[in-house]
Structure 1
Amino acid sequence: MDQTETPSDSVELTFREDTALTKMMRLRVSSLQRSGQKRQDGERLLLPHEAVYRLGFNIQGLNFSRWYFSLSGHGRVTITGISQNWTPDLTHLMTRQLLEPIGTFWRNADDPEDSALKCLEADMQEFGERIAELAKVRKVMYFLFAFKDGAEAANLSCSLEFTPEI
């Protein structure tokens, strides 16, 4: 959103794909499909266009400042926070563990390639503040990233800027 230089007293944290967790969740889907079983009541299965990302907090007391988001090309990326501390070997992702609001960034196919990304700014502000609140009690937080309308993970860069609480 804002590409200004990060002040020296701020902290920028970058979302990173958790490939092992994404793979584990895809294996759960394929296992259910092979065995002909159904998902558990309320279970949220990973869709083919989704991946699990993580955000690690090396500092706990943070105030949200802004999002940094870049996407080459066109498409839509939806980010959904997950409230659970993940233990995927013991628990499955349940729909009740998905946080509101979700974050969505997009650039339409008819928009110029160098046009700014669009987002719902009030939702993005609230989402960033919610992440900062959870960072007070978490060392890591997980997110579902959904890539739609031509968006691809390889064309994505996403981070958050925080200022440490004094």
Structure 2
Amino acid sequence: MSLELMFKPYIQLTEMMRLRVQSLQQRGQKRQDGERLLKSNEHVYRLDFSEQALYFTRWNIRMSAPGRLNIIATSQLWTPDLTHLMTRQLLEPTGFFWKSTDDDFIHCYEADAQEFGERIAELAKVRKVMYFVFAFEDGLSPENIECSIEFQK
């Protein structure tokens, strides 16, 4: 049986992380050693798992405009209400998807996208929720995408 999970924008956490950047800039302070600050083109998304025993099937990415989307997963160690995002908590590979102006097809690096989906399924066994950093480039914005991931139960 198939299960499709939608990535949901986590607006509150995105804003909180932007305030962290702003606060550091205003005080003239530097980030903590290893801390990963959110860039202006990045937004936090979350994925809630209703089931734990999942097998990755495929990505469902829809882009209504050309551009590039890089989806970076955070590991199970990050608790956004208590800690800053650290670079060592980011998983490799990332999901990199793009759409050109001259075609309607969504492109990706197949092997990386496959491995990335499998890693998410693996983490779902021990997680109820996962957090992701979505980086939008070349004119793409959150309004231009719908993103989900499909699993077999």
Give TM class, smaller chain. Answer: over 0.9
* Superposition pairs of residues 11-160 of structure 1, within 5 angstroms: 11-109=3-101, 111-112=102-103, 115-160=104-149
The letter of the residue matching 2:43 is A
Task: Output the aligned Cα RMSD.
Answer: 1.0
- CA offset digits 1:4-57 (Å, max 9, x no partner): xxxxx2000000011111011000000000111000010000000000000000
Secondary structure, in 3 states, of the residue corresponding to 1:67? strand
Normalising by the residue count of structure 1, what TM-score does the alignment of the two structures yield? 0.89
Normalising by the residue count of structure 2, what TM-score does the alignment of the two structures yield? 0.97
Q: CA deviation at 1:85?
A: 4.6
CA contact (8 A) 2:55 2:118 kept: yes
User: Within 2, Cα distance between the matches of 1:16 and 1:85?
Assistant: 20
User: Within 2, Cα distance between the matches of 1:84 and 1:144?
Assistant: 14
User: Within 1, Cα distance between the matches of 2:146 and 2:69?
Assistant: 11
User: Within 1, Cα distance between the matches of 2:40 and 2:94?
Assistant: 19
User: Within 2, Cα distance between the matches of 1:139 and 1:78?
Assistant: 23
Gap change, CA 1:129 and 1:60, over 3 Å in 2: same
The letter of the residue matching 1:141 is M
Secondary structure, in 3 states, of the residue corresponding to 2:150? strand
User: Within 1, Cα distance between the matches of 2:9 and 2:26?
Assistant: 26
- Percent of pairs identical after alignment? 63
Q: Across the two proteins, how many residue pairs are aligned to each other? A: 153
Secondary structure, in 3 states, of the residue corresponding to 1:138? coil
CA contact (8 A) 2:49 2:128 kept: yes
- CA offset digits 1:120-160 (Å, max 9, x no partner): 01100000000000000000000000000010100100101
